[in-house]
Structure 1
Amino acid sequence: MRLTDDGIDRGTRFAGADIDAVAAIGSSLRFVLDGAVLFAVDSTDLRPEAQEALNASAQDIAAADLSRFRVVGHTDSTGRDDYNLTLSQGRALSVRDYLAAQPALSGVAIVAEGRGEAEPIADNETEEGRTRNRRVEIIGN
């Protein structure tokens, strides 16, 4: 990407460069895993059926030939902020530990992070929205 200042006033309150060319920016691999598939309510223990989803993700990550990726846990807004942060961190660690044990990912650096309820992708006022917010994301670049 190249940024240049063309010297033309664009009539905005933002000073600086205008984008005159765009390249591939921030290309990354992202998987969003449904929290209900992975965990029971208020639990950091992986459900038996979570293995299928995580095994598929492990194969996709291996195929992408990533040297590192992040596992990020999220919750809905039900409950206290500190509880949700701890729960999301525990869930991210459970997924990280499972993936780290997969032979296809040996030698890959995996970081686990919990975000609690801080980054919703849907409205926490509805059950459907809360369900979407309870998730684990795998992010590689």
Structure 2
Amino acid sequence: MQIKRKASAHWEGTGKEGKGTVSTASTVLNQTQYSFNTRFADGVGTNPEELVGAAHAGCFSMKLAFNLQEAGFTADSIDTDCTITLDPGTGSISESHLVVKASVPGIEPEKFQSLVDDAEANCPISKLFNTKITVEASLA
């Protein structure tokens, strides 16, 4: 069985002066504003790169939790930040950089790093990307 999730975007106007909204079927995002300024300056609202970063951080954290579980560990916490780098010159995302800090009782650093490496390569959002992915991982 395949799982499908739906989101939508609405845009009005030109690329620079226009504005839009994004929504998700869950309504967590419900006509959330985005624009040129929220993407390339300091406007109020969201932007595609921020949303991609949230998706990558969340997906990676969940994959790491599954990896830990399969290896016999349970994380007290996993905190992941994601920085998406957009190169306006090429119009492409050039990097997704993850910084993860986890508290995992009883795990050796080498084992933790191998599970992090697997999560980096195999979370569904990582598999979606055609860009450089880097990770800094540490145990609390």
Higher percent of residues as strand: 2
TM over 0.5: no
Larger radius of gyration: 1
TM-score category by the smaller chain? 0.3 to 0.5
Bigger relative contact order, structure 1 or 2, given CA contacts below 8 A and separation 6+? 1
Q: TM-score, normalised by structure 1?
A: 0.34
